[in-house]
Structure 1
Amino acid sequence: MYFKHPNGSFIRVPQMSNHNTGPGLQSGGMTIYYFQPNAPTKNRTIVPFAKGFRMILGDPMRRRDNIDPRKTASKAVTFRCFHGDDPGPFGSPGNGPEDSVGFPMKQCSGGIRSNFFFPQCWDGVTLDPPDHASHVAQPEGTPGADGLQFFGTDCPASHPVRLPLLFMEIVWDTRPFNTPELWPKDGSQPFVFSMGDPTGFGQHADYVFGWEGDSLKRAMDSTQEMNACRQAVKVEEEVEGIYLDKLPGCNPLQAGPAPATMVPEANCNAVTTTIQDAPLPTADPEIIIPPWSVCWDGPGTHTLAPNCHPATTTTATGPAKTVPPAVITPIA
């Protein structure tokens, strides 16, 4: 996610620790859950992801809210607007009063969270079709008390094999950009995705299964390495704390409502496919202190975070974080 300054430049929006995550504060990243929902009548055996399995959730070319709100998929990719330290209803990401399919059209004093419910029903045969999506489907059935259909529902006959429910959350620290003079005067909102989406309807996520052997099971059984596995930088580029004159890849803004189109790479010097032979040294993203509690080592009582010790939240010291000066750095 990027913030578009009134002068037309872009700066990346940092990420921060989610509610009840830890131990301690994290530097960027996301929260990933592997659920095993109980199906009511069929598809009760959950099959592990197979080697070579891939899927995509959402459509990066989408620029309007064109999914039937009665369908499960309409709540699979959403945003939550936080106010202060209030997390909103825990059990219903995507169906709460502060949830939306596109970018929130108001300032969110506690930041914005992206919510992703991946499909959990598979055709049992195809690992990765050309569209990366038709081999999987969302469950179907009567919505639960939370208004969602991701738990306690059956798989359709076309996709009878049950997979683990993969759920991801990314919390964006939009708080520094809540100054009224930084927002557009036309009533729109200032955030965009790097692929040129100013609507948020193109929000999407990709899953590539890469766990070796029983490593996924071992990771789920132990939290000793939690937050400690980092991918080293392999592409040399400026991404943190500076304003860019163009989005990564020189992607133009495409607001729709027609679907976005691919743009040629000509006349853009942005790095796309060049990978370094060895990891590059880089500064870690700034650790952001969120407005809510995070977990620390030790047992706790929260059902979603049983190993979360309810210690006093670390508080920020010094002046509040502000937006850096809008000095534009051209993409070289």
Structure 2
Amino acid sequence: MHWKSMTALALAARTTALLRFSCTQLTIDRVDPLVNPGLTPSPHLHQIIGGNSFNVTMDPAKDMPGESSCTTCQFLEDSSNYWTAVLFFRARNGTYKRVPIVPNVGFEGAEGGMTVYYMQNGLADYQQTSKVTAFKPGFRMIIGDPLTHTAADSNRFRQVTFTCLQDPGTRFPETKNFPNKPCPAGIMANIRFPTCWDGKNLDTQNHMDHMAYPANGTFDSRGPCPASHPVPVPQLMYETVWDTRQFNNPEDWPEDGSQPFVWSFGDQTGYGSHGDYLFGWQGDALQKTMDTPCYVNCPTLTTQPVADQNKCKVAQSFKEDIDNWLPELPGNPVVSKRWAEKH
């Protein structure tokens, strides 16, 4: 299925708040205030979007929206921060080149970053009629694990996937591992977070235990939340389009036929893909929007021009070369090629 056909169906139906919006790049830096608070540099490189109050500690006691003077996200009410690892290409000579990010369909002009979704039902359910409770100030979570290197282990995270883009509108099929052949229009990394909250904790030690998947079925099939996590929340989803086209020459790929892409934390399987979220919506703007019939542009929210999104930046806190051909990944993590070859 292609995005343009999905968009047409969505626009033809009355929806209750299916948010799809762009957030341009805020910074690319070795900072991770959830896993490595206070540590500069963090072990691996991240690409970060959202409010410019982003920093190495992100004290949950502070008013994040109030701290930010701009946001890279389309809606001014959203100063949340969203981040993932960074994708690199590994050449036959062992050097690395950072893969650029291109805007998603409908967001031309955006400088890097991601597409963000908040949904009450699965993306194919255009009515979006389920009631959800919006995240609260201080809320934060992670999905995925950089230490995951096998297909079996990756099944703990149900919807952390990749799409090999045949053209910019491609959305299926999705795989848990990196595509094993050149993708004509790039690789989309998809991150979908769990949708059931325990209703008590804004965070937990591993940033995951306060969230759960449906007790049976899936979010898309409207499976019920488990008794331990009874509160349905919006499904948060990221799409990052990695522009791998310049690396599609088979003669540049490894001689053994394995795929050449590697996450910034050293994973060549793709199974370690993960995403981080730190809530930062103003007041009750997200809850109001989830309760209001709208699609993309919502009367409850203020849309800023793409040019203004692009202007919002945060300087690298740790200065290092991330743009040229590099002899090693930033932070020099161990590259997991041996797992990629075995699994």
TM-based fold match above 0.5: yes
Give the match for residue 201 of structure 1: 271
Matched, 1:83 2:166: yes
Normalising by structure 2, we get a TM-score of 0.63
* CA shift for structure 1 position 7: 1.2
- Structure 1: unaligned runs, 5 residues or longer: 90-95, 144-148, 259-332
Counting only pairs closer than 5 Å after superposition, residues 193-232 of structure 1 correspond to structure 2 as 193-216=263-286, 221-222=300-301, 224-225=303-304, 227=306, 228-229=308-309, 230-232=312-314
Aligned residues of 2:142 and 2:274 also touching (Cα < 8 A): yes
Among 144, 150, 167, which residue is 1:64 paired with? 150
Aligned residues of 1:63 and 1:256 also touching (Cα < 8 A): no
* CA shift for structure 1 position 83: 1.3
Matched, 1:25 2:25: no
Question: Aligned in 2, Cα 1:108/1:239: closer, same or farther, shift over 3 Å?
Answer: farther
Give the aligned residue type for 2:101.
Q
* CA shift for structure 1 position 152: 2.5
Matched, 1:248 2:248: no
* CA shift for structure 1 position 127: 1.5
Identity level (%): 41
- Structure 2: unaligned runs, 5 residues or longer: 1-86, 290-296
The structure with the largest helix share of the pair is 2
Counting only pairs closer than 5 Å after superposition, residues 1-332 of structure 1 correspond to structure 2 as 1-19=87-105, 21-22=106-107, 24-37=108-121, 45-67=131-153, 73-74=157-158, 76-85=159-168, 87-89=169-171, 96-97=172-173, 99-142=174-217, 149-216=219-286, 221-222=300-301, 224-225=303-304, 227=306, 228-229=308-309, 230-239=312-321, 241-255=323-337, 257=339
Q: Secondary structure at the match of 1:192?
A: strand
Q: Secondary structure at the match of 2:89?
A: strand
Give the aligned residue type for 1:50.
K
Aligned residues of 1:17 and 1:28 also touching (Cα < 8 A): yes
* CA shift for structure 1 position 215: 4.9
The structure with the largest strand share of the pair is 2
Number of aligned pairs?
237
Aligned-pair Cα RMSD in Å: 2.7
**Counterpart-to-counterpart distance in 2, 1:80 and 1:198:** 16
Give the aligned residue type for 2:148.
R
* CA shift for structure 1 position 10: 0.8
Give the aligned residue type for 2:109.
L
- Select the structure of larger CA radius of gyration: 1
**Counterpart-to-counterpart distance in 1, 2:321 and 2:220:** 35
**Counterpart-to-counterpart distance in 1, 2:280 and 2:213:** 22
**Counterpart-to-counterpart distance in 1, 2:215 and 2:154:** 13
